[in-house]
Structure 1
């Protein structure tokens, strides 16, 4: 294990550092990773961000993005960087399986591993942990790590602030979720004071859709949305042919499940999509309904109470039916 004193001493001199985050990184994954990256390079460290896979185009504008290495495109370089690292920061994930093949390399590495995360039930692969399930985003915890743990608030410059603001904004659903506390708003205010342009960030993330993506959204709502009123549940199920028809790219399906949840009577929404290798599920819920429990128990996944994900090895039709068959077990929670 690595205590805070030892970690601080290690960070006191330039060293080789790798930052990685989960498969198919979202705004919080990239915001927290690049926020930490922009902090560490100010200290003179040799830092590389390695993502397990590609990520949405609407996140590629963030400061430092040009230095990101995608593992699936650069396996040999990634392996060498992990092998040479003295420190590996693991952001926004709590199990090495969440970074796919990269997890094997990280697990085998002799580098000290630092987890900064807010998901339930972390695995014990890390040497130092900055973890809080009540945090609204990993980016919030990176801010706390820099400001309160390392006590380096003066290094929250415009680039750091921009990335961390993006992570907090996206993982809090634009500051709408219950864990967007007054402390979160104070952090966000500090990030704006440090140079984060909140309106511009919102524009880059949420108002940069392609025409295909917008037409695909219309198709999902008009033709794929199914309401189960007896369970206050909505399902959007999309097959592989529709993804090809609308030329859907990484990130284009993000957030669609929230449209189903926005219906007043709906307490649980599912976006179920047929991918090349498996069927993926994204669940969103209101109030205390445990979407993460369904994903963990039935769909090889997990997440937060109100936002979780999983996958199925069966067909799209069988997965949808399995999801429907589970609902009677949760009827009391759904109709209360």
Structure 2
């Protein structure tokens, strides 16, 4: 089975760009998830193997349940160390942009990224890549950016020399971006990759527990509150959604990551095709974050593009509503009705 992902020209260019660089940055999108953090940590480990001075920069906070990953203490947050990061962007030779398709996804870090004189390489699995880069490795069919990181490292012949510091975050990112390999994970090469990662003596069961069994009591109570009090089930459309206000999040002492995965739970309802989460931003007024999950061939990404200023994958997408939570609820209802033929 062939797991190579680069064509010959891309392979030569990738190797040349890495060889020519001394100072390397690895960056990801705002509100980093498991795939963003895992891919940046894994790729940074590969860069160390290549002898590079490498720094991982993330735009802002990532979830607490990822802080056990190896080398997270080396991650630099742009929102906390802006001056240092701006300097690094100015002096870098090469920047790897992982797990985002367009510069706006890095939010307040965008200007520093775009204006940096460094050459850029994009490695991503989202649709419509839009980054001025010397090399773009874009494969929307991939399960995750971590999958792409593994395949590139494998193709470049470095996997045998790497250890758990590479394998653990890469496996974690693949696992989280597929919901524990429950969606977007039917291709056989994914499990070939997993089998190779296991040769590095990673404990995949512990990785699962560290991510999915690592929440606070408040998160568990929030989950119960959402499912009992807030879930709106629309059986005639095989859809469900819930909303969370800033005050409700504060009531449960919300921290970054506490709502991760909640949108998947309503999918346990028999026959449900679509689940939507609406969450008020905890700091900015009139901003609601939207997550969509679906099964089979229902196009979350199209609904996200049409109604929620977003996009993503067929069964997992995201977006935003620039308005109140009430606005977001009304838009959600309109979106569900508009797609009723596909839902029924």
Q: TM-score range, shorter-chain basis?
A: over 0.9
Query: Does residue 1:331 correspond to 2:331, yes or no?
Result: no
Distance, in Å, in 2 between the alignment partners of 1:205 and 1:284 is 19
Q: Which residue of 2 aligns with 1:311?
A: 320
Q: Which residue of 2 aligns with 1:234?
A: 240
Distance, in Å, in 2 between the alignment partners of 1:85 and 1:61 is 28
Q: Secondary structure at the match of 2:292?
A: strand
Q: Secondary structure at the match of 1:248?
A: coil
Q: Secondary structure at the match of 1:250?
A: coil
TM-score, length-scaled by structure 1? 0.96
Q: Is the 8 A contact 1:37 1:64 kept in 2?
A: no
Q: Which residue of 2 aligns with 1:215?
A: 221
Deviation sequence 1:33-83 (CA, Å, 0-9, x none): 101111111221000000011000110111111110010000000111111
Distance, in Å, in 2 between the alignment partners of 1:312 and 1:10 is 39
Listed as ranges, the matches of 1:18-97 within 5 Å are 18-97=25-104
Deviation sequence 1:266-296 (CA, Å, 0-9, x none): 1010010111321111000111111111111
Aligned partner of 2:268 among 248, 262, 270 = 262
Q: Secondary structure at the match of 2:79?
A: helix
Distance 1:180 1:71, change over 3 A: farther
Structure 1 gap ranges (5+): none
TM-score, length-scaled by structure 2? 0.94
Q: Which residue of 2 aligns with 1:293?
A: 302
Deviation sequence 1:190-209 (CA, Å, 0-9, x none): 00112221011111111111
Q: Is the 8 A contact 1:119 1:303 kept in 2?
A: yes
Aligned partner of 1:136 among 140, 143, 151 = 143
Distance 1:3 1:184, change over 3 A: closer
Distance, in Å, in 1 between the alignment partners of 2:10 and 2:188 is 30
Listed as ranges, the matches of 1:237-252 within 5 Å are 237-252=243-258
Q: Which residue of 1 aligns with 2:5?
A: none
Q: Which is further off, 246-255 or 155-164?
A: 155-164
Q: Which is further off, 323-332 or 202-211?
A: 323-332
Distance, in Å, in 2 between the alignment partners of 1:93 and 1:178 is 18
Q: Is the 8 A contact 2:21 2:93 kept in 1?
A: no
Question: How many residues align structurally?
Answer: 333
Query: Does residue 1:162 correspond to 2:168, yes or no?
Result: yes
RMSD: 1.3
Q: Secondary structure at the match of 2:314?
A: coil
Distance, in Å, in 2 between the alignment partners of 1:319 and 1:274 is 9
Aligned partner of 1:282 among 287, 291, 296 = 291
Q: Is the 8 A contact 1:14 1:43 kept in 2?
A: no
Q: Which is further off, 71-80 or 257-266?
A: 257-266
Structure 1 residue 236 displacement after superposition? 1.1
Aligned partner of 2:210 among 194, 204, 209 = 204
Q: Is the 8 A contact 2:263 2:293 kept in 1?
A: yes
Structure 2 gap ranges (5+): 1-8
